[in-house]
Amino acid sequence: MERKTILILGGGVGGQVAANALAPRLAGRHRVVLVDKQREFAFAPSFLWMIVGQRAPRDIQRPMETLLRKGVEIVQAEALSIDPARKKVETSVGPMNFDSLIISLGAELAPEKVPGFQEAALNLYTLGGSCRIQKSLEAFSGRKVAVLIASSPFKCPAAPYEAAFLIQDFLRRRRSAAEVAVFTPEPYPMPTAGAKVGEALKGMLESRGIRFHPNHKVARIEPDARHYGIGGPPPGCVADGNKLVFENGLSETCDLIIGVPAHQAPRAVRESGLTNEAGWIPVDRQTLATNYEGIYAIGDVATIPIAGGKALPKAGIFAHSQAEVVAANILAQLDGRAPLVKFDGKGWCAIEMGGGSAAFGDGDFYAEGGPEVKLYEPSHYWHAGKVLFEKWWLAPFGPKRQALRLALTLGAKARGIPVSL
């Protein structure tokens, strides 16, 4: 049999799961090549714990090779262009041909799309930004912290709300009277999960004294004059806080901005001819296949329409499940079998609330009438599960990782939740 090459672009959640599902079953008969520009993998869900000092960078980073099974070829490089017709990817270390391609490059952050964001806001979605947030909170003596969502869609829809809960808890423990407020273009938190879940989360925010400002799409940020170095601030800029200016004509002044920047697909994807008008890759909702044979897109870079004119949220749990589906179907095709595994649109999320407690959402996003999501009451159990999930993900392959996986699966089943890892 001719030796095939399965090329995986991106070493995040989806890329790792796909590679680890493929390599041991192919046993060297075919190549599994994973391309990622980073040598170290950082577990992004734990950035939230970093901002309040509960994790350090070393706690949530691992060398990529320790998280991948034997048989996966790792290439440290950046994907520069994708030619779907010629089945070729140009990278920073040279061209690569493929027989099957899994695009799992995620969403690229574009803070420059909001004037003033890079000068005034601290980026919640990067390792470096999370470190700066932690240092700023430790030294904070101001009156107001704003958690700002620049635009939609953005990955991990719960993250900015988790940040607000954790920051509020952090400031309360330090006996600070500072106010925490969330500003979002959304009508309510996590709107794809439905109004019922959104209203419940809004109630949780407000019950903890966190102000919630829906339908506030930021137009620009006017940084505090103290952000400017040599040359000084523009005329009229004074040292009285950062000013958020919204498209609805309202504005708000705050001392510290924790920002979720605008998102877009990476340049190689945007220029590949695979995307729709919004700049994301449309895929078959069950197989994750693109319009080109042998090419799949999973996770944040893909877009899947669901009922109600919405799109499937960009979340790691979906990338995980989609990667398993694509890997299973590629294996079937290589063995001459029909690809029968389908992505079912189901997912879950633990939502940190601070104080060692978390809420939990679980549901079917492919439900005919729209997503059917259940939100469970906050408890220490859900927080403990999220900690266990972090430990499982960052553990090297071996008995410890298998034990953590078993504990997570059994714990979820005991609560009646079909969590699959």
- For residue range 164-183, list pLDDT tens digits in order: 999 999 999 999 999 999 99
Q: Where does a domain end: 261, 293, 318? A: 261
pLDDT band at 416 (very low <50, low <70, confident <90, very high): low
Indicate if 152 and 257 belong to the same structural domain: yes
Average pLDDT, the chain: 92
Indicate if 117 and 257 belong to the same structural domain: yes
Indicate if 198 and 248 belong to the same structural domain: yes
- Asked whether the predicted pLDDT for residue 336 surpasses 50, the reply is yes
Helix (H, G, I), strand (E, B) or coil at 372: strand
Cα dihedral across residues 314, 320, 323, 325: positive or negative: negative
Percent of the chain with pLDDT over 90: 87
- Asked whether the predicted pLDDT for residue 232 surpasses 60, the reply is no
Asked which of 63-77, 97-111, 231-245 is least confident by mean pLDDT, the reply is 231-245
- Asked whether the predicted pLDDT for residue 356 surpasses 90, the reply is yes
Distance CA 409, CA 406 (A): 5
| Pairing mode, strands 305-306 and 310-311 | antiparallel
CB under 8 Å to 266, separation ≥6 — which residues?
Answer: 79, 105, 106, 108, 301
For 135-159, the pLDDT digits (tens) are 999 999 999 999 999 999 999 999 9
pLDDT band at 236 (very low <50, low <70, confident <90, very high): very low
**pLDDT computed for residue 28 by the predictor:** 86
For 307-327, the pLDDT digits (tens) are 988 999 999 999 999 999 999
Indicate if 129 and 162 belong to the same structural domain: yes
For 112-129, the pLDDT digits (tens) are 999 999 999 999 999 999
**pLDDT computed for residue 61 by the predictor:** 97
Overall domain count for the chain: 3
Indicate if 55 and 129 belong to the same structural domain: no
Distance CA 150, CA 300 (A): 17
**pLDDT computed for residue 415 by the predictor:** 63
Indicate if 22 and 93 belong to the same structural domain: yes
For 24-43, the pLDDT digits (tens) are 999 889 999 999 999 999 99
pLDDT band at 276 (very low <50, low <70, confident <90, very high): very high
Q: Where does a domain end: 238, 261, 284? A: 261
Indicate if 245 and 134 belong to the same structural domain: yes
pLDDT band at 241 (very low <50, low <70, confident <90, very high): confident
Q: What is the CATH number of the domain that holds 254?
A: 3.50.50.60
Tell me what the mean pLDDT of segment 267-286 comes to.
97
Q: Where does a domain end: 343, 358, 381? A: 343
Indicate if 187 and 288 belong to the same structural domain: no
Return the C-alpha torsion angle 9, 12, 15, 20, nearest 10. 140
Tell me what the mean pLDDT of segment 372-395 comes to.
92
Domain with 196 in it: 109-261
pLDDT band at 233 (very low <50, low <70, confident <90, very high): very low
Indicate if 53 and 131 belong to the same structural domain: no
Tell me what the mean pLDDT of segment 338-364 comes to.
94
Among 153, 186, 180, 160, which Cα is nearest to 252's? 180
**pLDDT computed for residue 420 by the predictor:** 56
Distance CA 293, CA 100 (A): 8
**pLDDT computed for residue 397 by the predictor:** 74
Indicate if 213 and 82 belong to the same structural domain: no
**pLDDT computed for residue 395 by the predictor:** 87
Cα dihedral across residues 393, 398, 404, 406: positive or negative: positive
Tell me what the mean pLDDT of segment 337-366 comes to.
94
Indicate if 251 and 143 belong to the same structural domain: yes
Cα-flanking dihedrals φ and ψ of residue 298, to 5°? -130, 160
Tell me what the mean pLDDT of segment 324-333 comes to.
97
Indicate if 335 and 371 belong to the same structural domain: no
